[in-house]
């Protein structure tokens, strides 16, 4: 078995694990050989490519669409976690296994945030690695089966219902949660709309920190058997009421996240539309099944990006994926955060490279934003006089104004995440 970019796909009869296509990325050639040799004796496992740096790993993953990628954290040129984020965007069906020389909790959290399903210590034990591959592949197979069933869901009637604004960013650290929290508060305080902030960063809550709140109930507590059980009294007990006037629906634990089917998220959002005028959803910087559900059900996708190369590279990938998902340009609003930071790429250059119009730009105010997050106080209410607060309030007015000019009689699209996560080749 070699590590060249080739493979024969899935061909095993009667065994769902046959023909699992693997990508190995490790900066140490000896460790790459160790992994490859450990897998060479396993029937049905095919190494279709290997790489010594994260940039090449991300490129090969986009080209070959492997089932599982085994990534070292400390890759050269591109950090392993960044490579994992890129692979999660370009190859959302690919399951990620992160290999690290340390079991440091910070490293584990970074790996999970980047979309990893398994975390192994280096040097890897061959048997543990094989078991991890089978686990993540089995998980993928079960999710694909659930997605196929969810694709039969009926469209949501959006007539006379609240609007969903999903905030998505192409990588971590672009200000996604800050925008989601402050925009939700602006809808409630400036625009006087009944607003729900929904923490869609499933498994890794962020809204509770940004708002300094605690809650024992999460989205998972609304996963009921039928719509009749999802009544206003239950919702009232689950959401957290923030002093700013917004309600907050927190994200569940990792364990609950993994068993929360997309159809339940569709049901929950459809009920929330009847109660709230504005729903702001904060998401992870991945195009996994859960995130695509939120994007599918959104009226507006607020894509926030920093004016720097790494962020823009992933943005361009996302915009291409959005076209394949069938999202119109009118559904996506491109927000450039920190547009005036030192060394920033100009808005004109961003529009030229991405071939997409910038809807709004937000100034850089690192000190104010950091203080706001550290103290759990939304900036638009804590310091409304700051320019960044004024701009977010203007953005909220712009979004509400644009929404008021639209007709509400159209039907929303059904969930169709099988478009990306399903298999067109019968696998």
- Residue 56's domain is classified under what CATH number? 3.40.50.2300
Identify whether 205 is part of a domain. yes
Reply yes or no on whether the pLDDT at 150 is more than 70: no
The CB-side HSE value for 410 (13 A sphere, CA atoms) comes to 8
Same domain, 168 and 134: no
Identify whether 250 is part of a domain. yes
Same domain, 206 and 312: yes
Same domain, 55 and 108: yes
Identify whether 411 is part of a domain. no
Reply yes or no on whether the pLDDT at 312 is more than 50: yes
User: For residue 110, what pLDDT band results from cuts at 50, 70 and 90?
Assistant: low
Identify whether 13 is part of a domain. no
Same domain, 97 and 177: no
Structural domain count of the chain: 2
Same domain, 74 and 173: no
Residues in the chain: 427
Identify whether 150 is part of a domain. no
Indicate the pTM of the whole model.
0.66
Reply yes or no on whether the pLDDT at 324 is more than 90: no
pLDDT of 5: 43
Chain center to CA of 87:
12
Same domain, 284 and 312: yes
Identify whether 398 is part of a domain. yes
Return the percentage of the chain with pLDDT > 90, whole number. Answer: 29
Same domain, 219 and 113: no
Same domain, 233 and 86: no
**What is the chain's mean pLDDT, rounded?**
80
Same domain, 94 and 132: yes
The domain that holds 332 is classified in CATH as: 3.40.50.300
User: For residue 374, what pLDDT band results from cuts at 50, 70 and 90?
Assistant: confident
pLDDT of 116: 77
Identify whether 116 is part of a domain. yes
Same domain, 359 and 316: yes
Domain that includes residue 86, residue range: 20-143
Identify whether 84 is part of a domain. yes
Q: Please state whether the peptide bond connecting residue 123 to the residue before it is cis, i.e. omega within 30 degrees of 0.
A: yes
User: For residue 384, what pLDDT band results from cuts at 50, 70 and 90?
Assistant: very high
Same domain, 200 and 247: yes
Same domain, 133 and 260: no
| Per-residue pLDDT tens digits for 264-294 | 888 888 889 889 999 999 988 877 777 888 8
Q: Can you tell me the mean pLDDT for 92-114?
A: 76
């Amino acid at each position: 078995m070699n590590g060249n970019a080739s493979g024969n796909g899935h061909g095993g009869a009667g065994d769902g694990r046959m023909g699992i296509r693997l990508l190995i990325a490790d900066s140490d050639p000896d460790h790459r050989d160790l992994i490859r040799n450990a897998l060479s004796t396993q029937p049905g496992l095919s190494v279709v490519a290997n790489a010594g740096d994260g940039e090449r790993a991300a490129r090969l993953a986009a080209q070959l669409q492997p089932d599982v990628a085994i990534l070292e954290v400390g890759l050269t040129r591109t950090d392993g976690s960044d490579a994992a984020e890129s692979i999660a965007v370009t190859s959302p069906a690919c399951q990620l296994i992160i290999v690290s020389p340390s079991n440091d909790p910070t490293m584990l959290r970074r790996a999970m945030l980047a979309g990893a399903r398994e975390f192994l210590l280096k040097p890897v034990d061959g048997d543990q690695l094989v078991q991890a591959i089978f686990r993540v592949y089995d998980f993928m197979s079960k999710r694909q089966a659930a997605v196929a069933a969810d694709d039969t869901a009926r469209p949501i009637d959006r007539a006379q219902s609240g609007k969903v604004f999903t905030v998505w960013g192409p990588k971590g650290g672009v200000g996604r949660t800050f925008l989601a929290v402050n925009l939700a508060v602006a809808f409630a305080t400036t625009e006087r709309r009944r607003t729900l902030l929904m923490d869609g960063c499933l498994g890794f809550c962020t809204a509770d920190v940004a708002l300094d709140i605690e809650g024992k109930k999460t989205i998972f507590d609304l996963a009921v058997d039928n719509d009749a059980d999802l009544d206003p009294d239950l919702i009232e007990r689950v959401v957290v009421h923030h002093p700013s006037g917004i309600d907050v629906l927190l994200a569940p634990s990792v364990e609950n996240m993994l068993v929360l089917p997309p159809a339940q998220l569709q049901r929950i959002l459809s009920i929330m539309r009847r109660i709230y005028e504005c729903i702001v959803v904060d998401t992870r910087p991945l195009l996994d099944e859960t995130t695509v559900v939120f994007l599918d059900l959104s009226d507006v996708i607020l894509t926030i990006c920093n004016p720097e190369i790494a962020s823009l590279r992933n943005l361009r990938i996302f915009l291409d994926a959005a076209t394949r998902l069938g999202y119109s340009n009118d559904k996506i609003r491109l927000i450039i955060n920190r547009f005036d930071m030192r060394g920033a790429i100009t808005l004109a250059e961003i529009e030229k490279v991405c071939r997409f119009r910038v809807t709004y730009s937000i100034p850089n105010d690192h000190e104010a934003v950091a203080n706001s997050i550290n103290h759990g106080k939304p900036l638009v209410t804590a310091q409304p006089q700051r320019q960044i607060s004024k701009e977010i309030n203007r953005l909220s007015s712009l979004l509400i104004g644009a929404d008021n000019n639209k007709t509400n009689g159209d039907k929303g699209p059904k969930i169709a995440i099988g478009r990306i996560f399903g298999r067109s080749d019968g696998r």
